[in-house]
């Protein structure tokens, strides 16, 4: 038998919702990683003292107990997995995997047993159902009755709101009411937050972006309390997934981001992130409301009774010690301006996108955190409103797409190099052609550092330019829109060595640009010589012959209605873009037909011009 056993598609029940993930048994520990949140639960092998194999709704499940009283349940195993898991547990954990039958009689009369963090309802010594007491939000008592209310999970379609237990009066011991004893056992393990005792420390009037406002933050041993003018929030440290400390682009402010699961609620609004904004110039002297011995014993040198420094450093240091999680900061990425973030827009709101070592985070409205492991591919796209910017699209394995728009074109090279270095799949034709059938969706096939997107844009511009040598004048209608100009501009936007565009050369001498790009010189001179007589003809309002159309324009006029019918609601500019793509895909024989028609039209034009 190997050193590890791994299982995919294993489910963990979280407040009525099944979250899938991966489970690994090794000699040292048991590790479960959630696919939804990326949260990792690790159980040391020496702490395991109980293991049960049970028939449950999703096949078979394992219930693990630890010496500290925690219980973990995982479902989704097959019947054939029992033997190899049982042998692995005996060999490495010295724990026997026992089979436990569940009661399915449907009886509602039985015995309630409290075992660590679980309330087990048993019928004839067989468990009918179990209630994790950490899911209990409130416990109320009545005459011979106890009512349990539960925390709600927004991811579930149907939620269990409450359960009522009838507790018969005791005949043997009259000194303690059985109802009160039942309620005390529930409350001892329930997740009922009560602000009893003194806070460890208090931070006054901190600026909070989500939820918006200024809040006093009271730090308690097991939870933090946000106290504002209108709303109060109590956040248990067990709901904190990650901590982020991010510098603002102006280098004068800092974001401190707390990722929460489950989120805090304000009416129908859910806040998955708590974002605090600090000024770097704010300092604070902090004294913890604990003795020096208690501080040393509780925090083991992570905190001291008296501390001083920047306000954001004090808050992040205290939170790191109490939550016991690492603080994520930006990695080695540096943008065009030297900042560790990129200015962009998401859902019509401007914000900052931070490329991290293991993901991306956007602040602040709405906050978005995307881990590399849940990203299927990324895409660099042209900006929809201007060629001075581009869009960065991220598609997840669940099919969700996030578009960060209005990114300055100067950031393109830095962001492309970062994505390429992290071996994310780039959804781009030029890049995919170079992959040559690699199976690993996270890695690229070669180590080339060339800009595939830039090369493709240049190639498209060149192809369209060749198909549109005889372009229409500036006074023509929108239907004579030349896609070659648009893509040529795009290629120049991303080419730091590109000369000025054709449009900037009209009406002035650009000898330097002509010397740099000699290939374009004949075209520029020809256009200038031809445009002036054409304008004179229009001014004289003569009835001379109209210039002939190019092969591309002849094909476009014949294909325009078909493109409109195949793409209902498409705009004029999108028609030209689509037509350019279709023209490039035409075969040589098909293009030769339109070249012949264009040649014939040109000969007729020359003949008519001589007669005129």
Bridge pairing between strands 327-328 and 240-247: parallel
- Site of tokens 């240049």: 458
Looking at residue 479, its pLDDT comes to 39
By DSSP bridging, strand 111-115 and strand 97-100 are unpaired
Contact predicate 415/355, CB 8 Å: yes
- The tokens describing 101, both together, are 């039958």
Q: How many CB atoms lie within 10 A of CB 30?
A: 24
The verdict on domain 111-188 having CATH code 2.30.29.220 is yes
Total Cβ atoms within 10 A of residue 266: 12
Residue 557 to residues 481, 562, 576, 586, Cα–Cα distance (Å): 11, 10, 11, 16
Cα separation, 255 vs 258, whole angstroms: 10
pLDDT at 467: 53
Please give the Cα distance from 367 to 113 (Å, whole number): 43
Domain 342-422: CATH class, spelled out: mainly beta
Structural contact between residues 485 and 515, judged by C-beta atoms closer than 8 angstroms: no
Q: In three state form, how does the secondary structure of 13-47 look?
A: EECCEEEEEEEEEECCEEEEEECCCCCEEEEEHHH
Cα dihedral: 455, 458, 461, 466 (round 10) = -100
Instruction: Give all strands of the β-sheet with 162-166 in edge-to-edge order.
Output: 136-142, 145-150, 162-166
With residues binned 3-state (H G I as helix, E B as strand, rest as coil), the percentages for the chain, rounded to 5, are 30, 35, 35
Where do the H-state alpha helices sit in 191-310? 292-299
Dihedral sign computed on CA atoms, order 241, 245, 247, 252: positive
CB 176 within 8 A of CB 184: no
| CB atoms closer than 10 angstroms to residue 600 | 11
* Confidence (pLDDT) at 248: 92
Q: Please, what is the end-to-end C-alpha distance for the chain in angstroms?
A: 94
Nearest to residue 67, comparing CAs of 100, 28, 95, 26? 95
pLDDT score at 465: 55
Q: Residue 556 is encoded by which pair of tokens? A: 């476009």
The pLDDT of residue 485: 41
pLDDT at residue 353, rounded to an integer: 94
Low-confidence ranges of the chain (pLDDT < 50): 429-454, 456-457, 469-533, 535-541
> Residue 426: its pLDDT value, please?
86
Place of tokens 């791994």: 6
Q: What is the dihedral of CA 604, 605, 606, 609, to 10 degrees?
A: 120
Residues 6 or more apart from 479 whose CB is under 8 A from it? 560, 572
Rounded to whole angstroms, the Cα distance separating 164 from 31 reads: 35
DSSP code string of 266-280:
ETTEEEEEEEEEEET
**Cα(574)–Cα(560) distance, integer angstroms:** 11
Architecture, CATH, for domain 201-328: Roll (2.30)
- CA–CA dist 321, 468 (Å, integer): 66
Q: Are the C-beta atoms of residues 311 and 340 closer than 8 Å to each other?
A: no
CA atoms within 13 A on the CB side of 292: 2
Minimal CA–CA distance to 425: which of 443, 413, 438, 412?
443
Sequence-distant (≥ 6) Cβ neighbours of residue 123 within 8 angstroms? 103, 105, 107, 109, 110, 111
Q: Model pTM greater than 0.95?
A: no
Cβ neighbours, 10 Å, residue 10: 22
The CATH code that applies to domain 4-99 is: 2.30.29.30
């Amino acid at each position: 038998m190997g050193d590890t056993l791994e299982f995919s598609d294993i489910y963990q029940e979280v407040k009525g919702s099944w979250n899938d993930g991966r489970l690994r048994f090794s000699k040292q520990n048991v590790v479960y990683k959630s696919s939804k949140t990326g949260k990792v639960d690790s159980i040391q092998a020496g702490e395991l003292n109980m293991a049960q194999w049970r028939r449950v709704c999703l096949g078979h499940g394992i219930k693990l107990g630890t010496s500290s009283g925690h219980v973990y349940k995982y479902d989704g195993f097959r019947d054939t997995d029992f033997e190899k898991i049982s042998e692995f547990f005996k060999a490495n954990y010295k724990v026997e995997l026992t089979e436990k039958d569940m009661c399915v009689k449907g009886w509602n009369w039985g015995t309630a047993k409290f075992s660590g963090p679980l309330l087990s309802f048993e019928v004839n010594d067989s468990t009918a159902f179990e209630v994790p007491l950490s899911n209990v939000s409130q416990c109320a008592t009545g005459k011979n009755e106890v009512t349990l209310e539960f925390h709600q999970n927004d991811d579930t379609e149907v939620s269990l709101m409450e359960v009522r237990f009838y507790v018969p009066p005791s005949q043997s011991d009259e000194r303690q009411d059985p109802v009160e004893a039942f309620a005390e056992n529930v409350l001892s393990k329930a997740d009922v937050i009560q602000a009893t005792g003194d806070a460890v420390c208090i931070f006054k009037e901190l600026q909070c972006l989500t939820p918006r406002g200024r809040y006093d933050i009271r730090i308690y041993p097991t939870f933090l309390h946000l106290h504002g003018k209108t709303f109060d929030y109590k956040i248990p440290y067990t709901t904190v997934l990650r901590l982020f400390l991010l510098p603002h682009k102006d280098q004068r402010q800092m974001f401190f981001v707390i990722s929460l699961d489950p989120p805090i609620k304000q009416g129908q609004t859910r806040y998955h992130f708590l974002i605090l904004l600090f000024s770097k110039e704010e300092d604070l002297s902090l004294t913890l409301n604990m003795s020096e011995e208690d501080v040393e014993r509780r925090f083991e040198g992570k905190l001291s009774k008296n501390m001083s420094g920047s306000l954001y450093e004090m808050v992040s240091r205290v939170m790191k010690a109490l939550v016991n999680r690492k603080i994520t900061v930006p990695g080695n990425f540096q943008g065009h301006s030297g900042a560790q973030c990129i200015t962009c827009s998401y859902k019509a709101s401007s914000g900052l996108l931070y490329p991290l070592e293991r993901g991306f985070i956007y602040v602040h409205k709405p906050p978005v955190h995307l881990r590399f492991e849940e990203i299927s591919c990324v895409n660099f796209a042209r900006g929809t409103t201007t060629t001075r910017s581009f869009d960065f699209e991220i598609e997840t394995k669940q099919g969700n797409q996030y578009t960060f728009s209005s990114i300055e074109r100067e950031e393109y090279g830095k962001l492309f190099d970062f994505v390429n270095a992290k071996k994310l799949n780039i959804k781009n034709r030029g890049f995919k052609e170079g992959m040559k059938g690699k199976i690993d969706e996270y890695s690229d096939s070669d180590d080339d550092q060339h800009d595939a997107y830039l090369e493709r844009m240049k190639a498209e511009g060149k192809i369209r330019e060749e198909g549109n040598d005889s372009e229409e004048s500036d006074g023509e209608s929108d239907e004579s829109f030349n896609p070659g100009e648009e893509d040529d501009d795009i290629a120049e936007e991303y080419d730091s060595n590109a000369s000025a565009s054709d449009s900037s050369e009209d009406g002035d001498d650009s000898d330097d640009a002509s010397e740099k790009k000699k290939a374009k010189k004949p075209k520029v001179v020809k256009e200038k010589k031809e445009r002036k007589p054409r304008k004179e003809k229009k001014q004289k309002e003569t009835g001379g012959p109209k210039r002939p159309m190019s092969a591309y324009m002849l094909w476009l006029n014949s294909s325009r209605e078909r493109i409109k019918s195949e793409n209902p609601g498409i705009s004029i500019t999108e028609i030209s873009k689509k037509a350019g793509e279709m023209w490039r895909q035409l075969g040589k024989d098909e293009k030769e037909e339109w070249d012949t028609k264009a040649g014939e039209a040109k000969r007729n034009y020359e003949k008519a011009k001589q007669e005129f």
